[in-house]
Structure 1
Amino acid sequence: MAILSDVKARNLKPDDKPVSHGGVTGLVLHPGSMKGHGKWVLRYVSPVTGKRRNSGLGSYPEVGVAEAGRRGQEMREQLTKGLDPLEEKAKATTVIHIPTFLQAAETLHADLLPGWKNKKHGQQWINTIRQYAVPTLGALPVNHIEPRHIADTLRPIWLEKAETANRLKQRLHAVMAWAWVY
């Protein structure tokens, strides 16, 4: 079967039947609501579930004939490896980045900084965290920090620098509250 030409795709009318790409099995251009527009769809049977699936590859003319063929071929290669392209795409998009304590503290500091009238306070806020908390908590992902980590951070300064320890405790709480919402 011949590969779909760009001229034929541009002349596709809304009432036309879907047109096969010709180069990739199951790749079809469905006509859109305007002449020369449509949606690329790859129809396949999932090797994981055994069910028929339709995967959109973009709209024509934003995704041209050659690009749709390339994307369709990549998905077909995944199918030959026993992978469902839609499930692989879903896995890739659900990866969540968990920030480290240092990243969370710096992000929160940047968010709070415009609200503080005194720049010195803003600098003191992040400096106490960097000096006292980052050595023990800085590299830990925020979802791994437990109360014992906070206690270990505060213990060395609790008796000697009570005011600093109290402020640090409040700042640690603010960072953890931000991370919990994040």
Structure 2
Amino acid sequence: MPYTVTPTGIPDVLVLEPKVFGDARGFFFESFNARDFAQATGLNVEFVQDNHSKSARGVLRGLHYQIQHAQGKLVRVVQGEVFDVAVDLRRASPTFGRWVGERLSADNKKQLWVPPGFAHGFVVLSESAEFLYKTTDYWYPEHERSLLWNDPAIGIDWPLEGQPLLAAKDAAAALLRDAEVFAP
């Protein structure tokens, strides 16, 4: 199997570790293969968009989601390291309002599957990081929402030194109690 798949504290959020072939020349691995992804995860998803961002140390992006056209995301880091977070916003879920986090880096090559119905974000831990992710639906800015990164009702334990660097929309994001969430 080209992936090792491990459920997180929220079983729908999965950590995927690819099989990496390395030697003195470097390494090779398949970062995505639809057939193997479906076999390893039991999910049959279609990715329609790839995104790539670069951010400096301390930048926190998120917690983002789309209230309509909810996106599943397969995320990874190709340079640097981030702490990646998913928050369950599915009101009928037994894990509603809970979060899971995972360190993703160019070195560990881990990927995180964030299903539709979750808010997603990350903070950069290295000098900079390049972050790649595949989405199951297109970006619709009119449906994009942000959940406040430090909402005490959620209690994310971000590995931060000081305050993060935030976009204006993320600094003004909604608390969970006021956020639009996914109905059953």
Shared fold, TM over 0.5: no
Whichever structure has more helix as a proportion of its residues is: 1
Q: Which structure has the larger Rg over C-alpha atoms?
A: 1
TM-score normalised to structure 1 length: 0.22
TM-score normalised to structure 2 length: 0.22
Greater relative contact order structure (CA < 8 Å, 6+ sep):
2
